Amino acid sequence: MYNVHVKTHSSENGRDVIQFLLHGGTGHGRGIAVLPENHPEIIELKSFLDTIDMALSESPERASPEPENSYTILGSCVERCQQLSVTVLTDHQHFDATTLNTIRMSNIPQNYRIRARLLKFEPKKLCQSVKLHCPQCNSLQEIPERTELDSILQEASATGSDSNLQSISFCNSVVWRVGDQEQRRVAFHFVTHGELLQDPEDTLVFLEGVTLNEILRFTSKFKGIIPVTSKEDSVALLDLSVPYFWEGDMQYYGCKHCSKPKAMESLGSLASKQNPSWEHTSIAQELGIVPLEYVFVMKFTLDDGTGTLDVYLLDNKKFFRIPASEVLINNTYQEKMEIIMSRLCPASRTLDDFPWLECFIKSYYVRDGTEKRLCYRIFDTTIENI
């Protein structure tokens, strides 16, 4: 057996018994392998067992009765060991488990290893668990509703493109009139490579004066879309309330507080490269944007028999092994999330039938106005393939 460790456990009658436990970590793998009979260790083990059998057959104490409670102890140990966790610890396997009751009475901050069941979770609508998180200022925000994005873009498009089209050195630009009686002007700035236009699927486009529906229509035709506006003698990003980059079904946002947006000319150095990378992170770096990341934000109420504890999950893809950015646009991932949560916290069943979760959690304080609030958060833990 791979990754087995020995642990002493005190039984109810006070006797210490040894348990061999299959480790919950991933540092050395875990599992069972069958060795062939001619394996050197198997030959050595058989030889050793033969000497034990011979010694027992010659011993006058061979018929000594077993202690009355030996099978009870064994049964209890087997029951404990068979209750395997549905989570895996990705680090810190040397930590011993701590009860939730002990954690509630401990000093702050600390890290703990726990073993508990998921009593309940929030939000129940799993799509509402996906938020936008800034890794720099640690702020969280809701993903804007479609109506909110549409309103911002409609307001920007109402002004239309500047009558004097702003030129960008590495773009071919054109203005079209759209809408009723062609009153609205839309500017297309096609990023070129070596003064040549690329195939649409490889082309980055800056769109000025467009609506939400128009952006969504063009994302299926081009590599990526960046909504822009004309300001004096330059072309700049729209307000960061809307995504700074649209790629297929994905939208990428920037932090309003940490970003220092630059003019679109800043992308010139990227456009001049032999094989420019129009990845959202590269674009953000050139434009002075701090990208927001999609994360799961959930509250778990855990129960280990000694008490309950509310623990937060803030994770982009490690815990569920599902990218938070994909859950909102991919039905397969949405269904997988629902299956996972229904197995972690099954409806219409008693808590004793719930699976065990072995997790690392950390205690810490967060500032809530003028007061400090105690929080617990899961880390370095991932769901097994269930």
Name the 3-class secondary structure at 159. helix
Q: What pLDDT, in 10s, does the model give residues 160-210? A: 555 566 778 888 888 887 766 567 788 889 988 766 667 778 889 999 888
- pLDDT of res. 243: 97
Query: pTM score, two decimals?
Result: 0.75
d(CA 142, CA 149): 13
Alpha carbon of residue 292 to chain centroid: 14
Q: What is the pLDDT of residue 336?
A: 93
Helix (H, G, I), strand (E, B) or coil at 9: strand
Which domains, from first to last, does the chain contain?
Answer: 3-49 (no CATH), 87-135+294-383 (2.40.50.140), 143-289 (no CATH)
* pLDDT computed for residue 249 by the predictor: 92
Positions of the chain with pLDDT lower than 50, given as ranges: 26-28, 62-63, 70-82
Q: Residue 61 has what pLDDT? A: 54
Classify 196 as helix, strand or coil: strand
Sequence-distant (6+) residues with CB within 8 A of 269 are 286
Q: Tell me what pLDDT residue 353 has.
A: 87
- C-alpha torsion angle, residues 328, 332, 338, 342 (rounded to 10): -160
Residues contacting residue 147 through CB under 8 Å, at least 6 positions apart:
none
pLDDT at 124: 92
Q: Are 88 and 381 in contact (CB under 8 A)?
A: yes
